[in-house]
Amino acid sequence: MITIYHNPRCSKSRQTLALLEEKGVEPQIVQYLETPPDAATLKGLLSKLGISARDLLRKGEDAYRENNLSDPNLSEDQLIALMVKHPKLIERPIVVKGDRAVLGRPPENVLELV
């Protein structure tokens, strides 16, 4: 089973989903802006991605500036809590298969999971 954390308004997310479908994969689609992941789910995703919370932040979002997320003193848990509160801060798409995950930036990254 493959899961995609998807935002249908994002071109990279749409391209990643289309690429999966072209490969015959029908992923479980989580529209994370409508059903945001909780802190435990985000921690699990970060572990599968092998990156820090800071690496998953969308730095161009208003919520990034409004919450002063460039502050290097913010902890991993604080950043995760802010991503739960403001899911637009989460980089997308995230594609998960088993204990591995990749960011679909570029969309071709997901081919290593197929």
CATH number, domain of 10, equals: 3.40.30.10
For residue 44, what are its two tokens?
């699990």
Domain extent, residue 56, equals 2-112
Mean pLDDT of 98-103: 97
Residue 29's pLDDT band (boundaries 50, 70, 90)? very high
pLDDT in tens, 30-52: 999 999 999 999 999 999 999 99
Inter-residue contact 17 to 6 (CB < 8 Å): yes
Residue 24's pLDDT band (boundaries 50, 70, 90)? very high
Give the global pTM.
Answer: 0.94
The DSSP result for 11-38, as a single string, is HHHHHHHHHHHHTT---EEEETTTS---
Cα–Cα distance list, 53 to 17, 42, 49, 97, 108 (Å):
23, 9, 10, 20, 22
Q: Which of 2, 10, 29, 74 is catalytic?
A: 10
Q: Residue 10 catalytic? A: yes
Query: To the nearest whole percent, how much of the chain has pLDDT over 70?
Result: 100
DSSP H helices in the chain: 11-22, 39-49, 62-66, 76-85
Q: What is the pLDDT of residue 77?
A: 97
Q: State how many domains the chain has.
A: 1
